[in-house]
Structure 1
Amino acid sequence: MDDTTREGISEAVEERSGHGATLRPDLGLVLSGELPCISCRYDLSGISITGMCPECGTPVRATLLATVDPEAGTFEPLTHPRLAALGLVVWSSAAFAAVLIIWMVRFGDALNAWTPIGFRPTWLGVLVPVFVALSGVGSVVLWKPHRKLPVWPSVAATVATVLYGPLVWLMWRLHGVVDRTGSAPYVSSRSVDTDRLWLQVMILVVLVVISLLQRPIIRVFADRSVLLRTGELSRQSLLAFAMAAALMLLGVFLRLGAIRWDDTGSFFLDVIGLVFLAIGSVLVTVGLGCFVVDSVRLYPVLRSGPRTLLDVVERGFGR
């Protein structure tokens, strides 16, 4: 692409400010390469930047504003972009799968206790540490995604991956041993299992620490998407996720405190603890689901790199 074309392209775009940008019309610029419409995924290659998608009528400029990153040239290239993109999806998806399995087991406990179905799939619990371990494997890509990464985020991400070791063991003890051989923890009439509560405490503490350690490097990845960076698409914060896990931790401590109280105080404290646990569990599940969505959104950006306007347009002749 010659200098004249580059000058025409640069003049066609005004600097983004705040949360958006505007394109100045230039009828000589057309799309080159593959550029799916933001609405219907129709290939817009060969269409003027001032035109509209022939399939759904969405302005081409809307797709450009959602695709082109004016700061793309400032990012250091990833060392292994495809591996980083895949690892991020594995990291989030495996963790989400582990939580869904826990919900399935708890749902089975309720069916077994309150209906004649008698379905309690405690054997599924052995899969929880497997998916947690798989999530830990995916987190390896967070260590050093590019050569110029500062030391602290890289060290923090490495320590977080190491902590997956004790987390997997704790998950195995809780879901693969205690829950598989014991009574249903939330619907059984038996007394609260103190050992199970302390296992939950250790799991949640490790989970909070891992989340906080991974937060700096996840922000590095998220900043590579112009839509996530500018807030045009919301993203899940690891800090909010850690706070949800901390809420669950508070619920467990309340249940532990209830053991030392008299019968009346114990009942109310235990109920409050269960409420905190339930709310925190829902927030953690939703948060992990949002991480999966964010990872899928980032996948093409990480795999191919942020796209500049030079990557998607060319000067059309005779148009």
Structure 2
Amino acid sequence: MPTDHDQLARELSGDLPCVGCGYNLRGLSVLASCPECGGPVRATILVRVDPLARTLRPITHPKLTWASLVLLVAGAVLASVASWWHILDMQRGHRPADLVGALIVMGVLVSAAGAVGIAALAPRPAIREWLGCLCYGPVLAVLHHWHSDGTTTATPGTHAWENLLLMLSIAGAMLLLRRQVRALAARSLLMRRGYVDRQNLLVMAVVAGLGALGDAIRMIGVAIGPPDGDALDFAGMIAVTLTSALLTLGFVGTLVDVVRLRGAIVSPPLAMEDLLGD
């Protein structure tokens, strides 16, 4: 009857890249060390093998799912960065280039396409995700109205209600798409164990909500009028600026997370049975 030591000493019959150097540990004992870097095979198993591999729901179209996730976040990054470009042009007294406005709209459309892909490829009824896709409608409507007015973002003291709608739509999209994004992130063993930090969409949605609150404060300040309303208008402007900056950083961080998730989404999780041939 095989002992526990005999079970551990079994050779790996499946491919297992060393976590230290990438050397294929196939054929080595579980108790051995990597011949290239000397790292214990057991350490690689702890990092590479997912104990939930047999229980995770298979992804029907893994590459399309990951591509949709990339579009969702990359589009948001593009629109956010282009918006800051537009603001800097206005601060310097320059007329914003048409290219900047086009990049903002393009970013929103790309992100919307990613959201549609995530909703369409969701393994369960995705009513919430489809509602998240609808949140892009008000964003595009606001951008169209600003463009028809000769602007692509809210200028100081004007369009505060439109910026309020914009922030609420962004918050709504993140809250409604959050369930599916979290399910995909949970496929990463490193993220589940907390070895890799990830952006929290709930926190980002709250930040967008605080930005909407800043716009509401600005609207109150404008309604009161100077001089008392000037302080509220200034406080609201500071809140909107800070939350917009935090959202941009959050989108960039989320894009980094999505790149890290590629292997967990595109490749099926590795089980111990795959390595030992059980």
- For 2:16 and 2:207, how far apart are their aligned partners in 1? 41
What is the one-letter code of the residue matched to 1:185? Answer: T
Question: 1:185 aligned to 135, 155, 161, which one?
Answer: 155
Distance 1:55 1:94 in 2: 41
CA contact (8 A) 1:25 1:50 kept: no
1:246 is matched with which residue: 209, 226, 231? 209
Q: 1:165 aligns with which of 116, 120, 137?
A: 137
Query: Which residue of structure 2 aligns with residue 221 of structure 1?
Result: 184
Q: Deviations over 1:24-77 (max 9, x none)?
A: 993433373252x4455x233335444455555554433332221101111221
CA shift in 2, pair 1:160/1:144, >3 Å:
same
Q: Tell me which of 161, 166, 170 is aligned to 1:207.
A: 170
2:252 to 289, 310, 317: 289
Structure 1 residue runs without a partner (length 5+) = 13-23, 187-191
Residue matched to 2:25 = 45
Q: What's the offset of the Cα at 1:95?
A: 1.0
CA–CA distance in structure 2, aligned partners of residues 239 and 201 of structure 1? 18
C-alpha distance after superposition, 1:184-236 (max 9, x if no partner): 935xxxxx22xx21211111121111111111111211111122223222221
Q: Which residue of 1 aligns with 2:116?
A: 140
For 2:29 and 2:82, the matched residues in 1 are separated by 49
Paired residue for 1:29, among 5, 11, 19? 11
What TM-score, normalized by structure 1, do the two folds share? 0.76
Residue in structure 1 matched with residue 128 of structure 2 by the alignment: 156
Query: Contact 1:212–1:242 (CA<8 Å) still a contact in 2?
Result: yes
Among residues 77, 86, 95, which one is paired with 1:105 in the alignment? 86
Q: Is the 8 A contact 2:164 2:213 kept in 1?
A: no
* TM superposition shift of 1:267: 2.1
Please tell me whether residue 274 in structure 1 is matched to residue 237 in structure 2. Answer: yes
Q: 1:81 aligns with which of 62, 67, 91?
A: 62
* Whole-angstrom distance in 2 between the partners of 1:76 and 1:180: 46
TM-superposed CA distance for 1:122, in Å, is 5.4
Aligned residue for 1:43, secondary structure, equals coil
CA contact (8 A) 2:188 2:261 kept: yes
Is residue 61–residue 121 contact of structure 2 (8 Å, CA) maintained in 1?
yes
Name the CA shift for 1:53/1:171 in 2 (closer, same or farther; >3 Å). Answer: farther
Encode CA deviations 1:250-298: one digit per residue, 9 max, x unaligned: 1111111111224232221122112211221122112111221221122
Residue 173 of structure 1, CA deviation: 2.8
Cα drift, residue 308 of structure 1: 1.1
Between the aligned residues of both structures, percent identity stands at 27
Task: Please provide the CA RMSD for this pair.
Answer: 3.0
For 2:100, the equivalent position in structure 1 comes to 124
